[in-house]
Structure 1
Amino acid sequence: MDDEPVQPHRWYSTNLVGVPSQVLSSTLFNAHPLALSIAGTRETHPGLFHLLGRCASLSDAAEVFVHYLDIAFGLRAPADHEAATLGPAERRRWRSSWRKLLQGWGMDSNGPAGAVLKGWVESRFGLVPIHHKAPLAHFPSAGWITYLEEKTSSRLHNNNIHQQLDLLYEFCQWALQRFGLPGLAAAPARQLRLWRGSTRCDEQLVAGALQNRHCTVRLNNLASFSLSPDDAGCFGDWVFEAQVPACKVLVFPGLLPGQVLQGEQEVLALGGDYDVVARYV
Structure 2
Amino acid sequence: MDNDTPPPPSLPATARLPINRCNLPAVILGSLTFQDHPAPLELDGVRALHGDLWRHLDGLEEPAVRIHDFMAYMRGHFCLDDPAACGLAEGETGGRERADYLRTLRGWWFNPDGREAAVLKGWVESRFGLITRFHREPLPDAESLAYGRFMQERAGGVYNTNALESQLDLLYSYTQYELRRRAPERTHLTLYRGVNRLADHEVLARLPGGQALVLLNNVNAFSAVRERADEFGDYILTVKVPTAKVCCFQDLLPGVLQGEGEHLVIGGVYRVKVSLM
- In the other structure, the counterpart of 1:213 is 210
In 1, the alpha carbon distance for the partners of 2:199 and 2:213 equals 11
Q: 2:129 is matched by which residue type in structure 1?
A: G
| TM-score in terms of structure 1 length | 0.86
In 1, the alpha carbon distance for the partners of 2:141 and 2:43 equals 28
CA contact (8 A) 1:115 1:132 kept: yes
SS in 1 for 2:156: coil
SS in 2 for 1:131: coil
Stretches of structure 1 lacking an aligned partner (at least 5 in a row): 1-6, 181-186
In 1, the alpha carbon distance for the partners of 2:15 and 2:114 equals 25
Q: 2:104 is matched by which residue type in structure 1?
A: L
CA contact (8 A) 1:30 1:243 kept: yes
Q: 1:55 aligns with which of 60, 70, 74?
A: 60
Distance 1:148 1:15, change over 3 A: same
1:193-232 equivalent positions in 2, closer than 5 A? 193-204=190-201, 205-208=203-206, 212-232=209-229
- In the other structure, the counterpart of 2:230 is 233
Distance 1:155 1:161, change over 3 A: closer
**Overall identity of the aligned pairs, in %:** 34
- CA deviations 1:143-174 (Å, max 9, x no partner) are 21211001111566621011101100110000
Stretches of structure 2 lacking an aligned partner (at least 5 in a row): 1-11
In 2, the alpha carbon distance for the partners of 1:146 and 1:49 equals 38
Kindly report the root-mean-square deviation, in angstroms, between the aligned alpha carbons of the 2 structures: 2.4
Q: 2:123 is matched by which residue type in structure 1?
A: W
CA contact (8 A) 1:197 1:239 kept: yes
CA contact (8 A) 2:217 2:267 kept: yes
- In the other structure, the counterpart of 2:166 is 163
Distance 1:242 1:155, change over 3 A: closer
SS in 2 for 1:243: strand
Shift of 1:116: 0.4
- In the other structure, the counterpart of 1:4 is none
CA contact (8 A) 1:30 1:244 kept: yes
| TM-score in terms of structure 2 length | 0.87
Q: 2:121 aligns with which of 115, 118, 123?
A: 118
Distance 1:177 1:88, change over 3 A: closer
Q: 1:61 is matched by which residue type in structure 2?
A: R
- In the other structure, the counterpart of 1:132 is 135
CA contact (8 A) 1:105 1:261 kept: no
Shift of 1:69: 0.5
Q: 1:68 is matched by which residue type in structure 2?
A: Y
- In the other structure, the counterpart of 2:102 is 99
- In the other structure, the counterpart of 1:26 is 31
Q: 2:186 is matched by which residue type in structure 1?
A: A
Residue 253 (str. 1) matches residue 250 (str. 2): yes
The total of aligned residue pairs comes to 261
Shift of 1:253: 2.1
In 2, the alpha carbon distance for the partners of 1:191 and 1:231 equals 20
